[in-house]
Structure 1
Amino acid sequence: MQTTNIECFLRNDNILNKINKQFISLNFDEVRHNNPYLIKIFEQLIEAMRRQSPLFDKTFQRIIWAGSYYKKTRVGEPEEYDINFVINLPFKERDIEFISDCPGFIEIRTPWRERNMSYNTLNLTKEAQKELNSFIDNESYLNQDKFRAWMEGILSRVAKETSKSDRIILLNGVPITRIKTGPAFTLKIQFEVSGKLIDIDVVPVLTFSTCNPPPRCSEMSILKDYLRGSRYWSAVPKPLNNSRTQFNDELYRYWRLCFYEIEKDILDRHGRAKPIIRLLKKLRDTQKWNIASYYIETLCLNELDIFLNSNKSDTSLFFTMIQKLREAFRQGRIRYFWDKDLNLLEQIKSSTMKCMFGSIDRIINKIEKTIADDKYAIAKVILNTSELNALISSIDQSSESEPEPDFGSINNIHFKLFSRL
């Protein structure tokens, strides 16, 4: 069945709304309890880190609670968090240069030393000066490898101070286990009341004003809409391992671009996109597809007009985005929203790409063939068997609870109406 022929079966959002409410929406009671607890822990952790590093004490600005949890695009319980430690190095804007010869990444150079300026102009202690020098190379480029190592070293000293071991013990007695996970490090914390163990991925980042944008950006007009200081973009110390691209400089000089705060604003303004993103992630989890959450969010960011201007139902939009996902794997490309020259799928093998396309194509064909006779056609691909049974049972029960129409009363009304004519 062609897409144009099934639109009439995609107009009703009742089933999709029930799926969202019953299986996808976050438990807001947990959210209310978790957030204050985490804030209290990180306030204590930051104070401990300040004591261990004069440079951190001088340059730490704030925490950005990042990731899909705070974008409200997360699926499942709030057991994983992403947190950025914002570091504001003591350089003026004129003393920072951005260079970009690689899509989605940037090099940061601080030529202030070449201008015969002393560390005294930065208002740093000798200890802080030494720390800063540790991640600036001999050509004045910031070294993201050593920047991460600096942050990890601070946490190691906090652990030794608080517990004489690899774990961090804060004033409230909560043990925090540190695990190295690639460019980030993960903190494992157990909640007092529920006893749940949660993972928090922590990444130190450098932030810059939208008035001082990266040299290459496909959405520069969006950045220019912000007043100075109202929003920031970030440079993230994520290693660059793209073997298909030629680099002019050492890999450690490349920092990944990140526009988390602005992406959150965009999704807030295009509110219809968020439930569709959550449904796509739920579909991915059920089908066991290996697709990063950020790829799904970017796919929707690239189709903002669909969510802003369409008068279609959410069910129709969801089906449209499944088709967009199929097309992405057919072409082997999802464009990075902020730099169209970067393909987020470029690291995926062609055999994997072909397999993903086939899997999505079969699901679309199945929906097209069955939706006319089966109102649960879409639910059957989003939910697993137990969830589907629970959904059908809840819909059947709600139908049974609805009062039967009183045909006698209806007939009496009709009789009275006609008797007046």
Structure 2
Amino acid sequence: MLINDMKNRNALFKDLYKHIYYGGSYYDGLKISKPEEYDCDLLLELPKVLNPLITTVPEHPGFVQMLVTDLEKYRTHTAFNPELQKRLLDNQNYLRVDKLRSWVESILDKVLSDLPKEKNFHSFTVDNKTYYFKKTKGGPAFTVHITESIEDTKSVMDIDLVPCFNFKDNDWPRCDNFRRNPSTKNRTFFVVPKKPKVNVPNADRLWRLSFQQQELEFLDQRQSLKPALKLLKRLRDQYNHKSISSYFIKTVFLWQVDECDESFWKEKLSTVFMVMLKRYHQRLDNKYIPYFWNKDFNLIKDIKQLELDNIKNTVAKIITKIDANLDDPFIVASYLVPKQELEQLRQNVTLGKKFEKLLQSRISIDVPDGAVCNRSISNDTTSTVTSSAAVEEALKEINRKLDAITDEQRTIRSLVERLIDHQMNTDDKLREINQRNMNTVLEDLLGASAFNGICPRLPN
């Protein structure tokens, strides 16, 4: 409805608009909460006659500029619209981030002005049902908050509308440090009105690239990847690491896909999650999560050092605790959900009798290296003797007792080794069973049928 009204309101928007691309974590199958937020990219295409040139900016890796090179030819073309230069270009014919946002927002505001308004909400009716919504602005997106009742703010659904330009594969950034398009079926990419966070000269000429289609292709059809990624996002949320965006975590996984064997993603969820948790910690420890499409761009470079260290140290402690308690199939889950929900999870998941029996059979052994039998030689063999024969006999007796002690030590060590072997075999079996149990726990957590949609299972 909104898009049609925007097209009717503005001829240039109608000429440039192509379609909506539904992206973001919900459509990628990576959402970890109830689906109340949706990302919709409004894809625009510049007329080919303008011959737009995308150029990289070495001092700002990950960003590009867009220069219109054939404006004069456009002026004589049938598609000419004088509003394009005024609304979107600066005096040197560069496309500007701020101008695109202002232009799209002005069209959206005109559409909203025609709709009834009540308590800061506009309303519209579809199939005899009335919906209320209002617009806010943040970053590159315009967020439309939609609800069925003005009084019930908990049922609000947010739709992020992001105007961006769609380009074909032949316009792919020409730069040695930019990864070439790895996809044979997704041959387009987006340019998003998102400039650097820091103030730089001509910042409004700088645009971020978006390769959502290619990234989704990388993440799809890999058994344990999406579940592990969702769990890592859940861990971030549990510890309120707000400066770590979902895209940063997603990028850690993109690099892993690029660097590891395909068979890795067929491992159990618990195994993949722990490997990726440690990879994530390594990136934090190095203070470097490189942008997948241009490794010169460090995604976390703007996070304050103290904050980054706190996040890194928290993750390190979690890894240490998990590694020290691998016999507990709920150890990973204990860091993903609050205690009350963890107790519900313990009640929901059946671990099996074999695991419980093995757990009870474990024996606590603590034998330090070089341990000796704590036994003394009797006083009668060390008493003072006067004759050489007596001394000789005493020495023989001591040697016999020492030999007996040595034999006893060997017996004790043999027993200890057998006990340790038993313990190791038991631990190996426990780990094998526990890996399956931990996987069961995590899959149940992702299913979230008993957890009010904490981590809903979504279709790929």
Aligned twin of 1:222 = 181
Distance 1:118 1:371, change over 3 A: closer
The letter of the residue matching 1:338 is: W
Partner of 2:44: 87
Give yes or no for the alignment of 1:284 onto 2:242.
no
Structure 1 residue 200: Cα displacement: 1.2
The one-letter amino acid paired with 1:234 is F
User: 1:306, 1:379 → 2: CA distance?
Assistant: 26
Q: Which residue of 2 aligns with 1:17?
A: none
Code of the residue aligned with 2:252 in structure 1: it is L
Cα distance in 2, alignment partners of residues 238 and 117 from structure 1: 29
2: CA distance between counterparts of 1:122 and 1:214? 29
Provide the aligned length of Structure 1 versus Structure 2: 341
Identify the structure with bigger relative contact order (alpha carbons < 8 Å, sequence gap 6+): 1
Which residue is equivalent to 2:194?
Answer: 238
Note if 1:119 corresponds to 2:75: yes
In the alignment, what sits opposite 1:109?
67
Q: What's 1:267 paired with? A: 219
Q: Deviations over 1:130-170 (max 9, x none)?
A: 24422111111001101110000001000112236865433
Corresponding residue to 1:256 among 204, 208, 215: 208
Pairwise CA distance, 1:220: 3.6
Q: Secondary structure at the match of 2:134?
A: strand
Inter-partner Cα distance in structure 1 for 2:293 and 2:177: 5
Q: CA RMSD in A?
A: 2.3
Partner of 2:255: 302
CA contact (8 A) 2:62 2:208 kept: yes
Structure 2 unaligned spans of 5+: 354-460
Q: TM-score, normalised by structure 1?
A: 0.76
Structure 2 vs 1, CA of residues 63 and 281 (structure 1 numbering), >3 Å: closer, same or farther?
same
CA drift of 1:217 comes to: 6.7
Name 1:29's counterpart in structure 2.
Answer: none
- Bigger Cα Rg: 2
Indicate conservation of the 8 Å contact 2:194/2:208, yes or no: yes
Describe how 1:100-249 pairs up with structure 2 within 5 A.
100-101=56-57, 102-113=60-71, 116-124=72-80, 128-163=81-116, 167-172=121-126, 173-191=130-148, 196-216=155-175, 218=177, 220-223=179-182, 225-226=183-184, 230-242=186-198
Q: TM-score, normalised by structure 2?
A: 0.69
**Local SS of the residue matching 1:76:** coil
Question: For each residue in 1:268-307, what CA deviation from the matched residue of structure 2 results, as whole angstroms up to 9, or x when unmatched?
Answer: 1434311111110111122222221111101110111447
Long gaps (5+) in structure 1:
1-43, 401-421
Select which of 357, 365, 384 maps to 2:338: 384
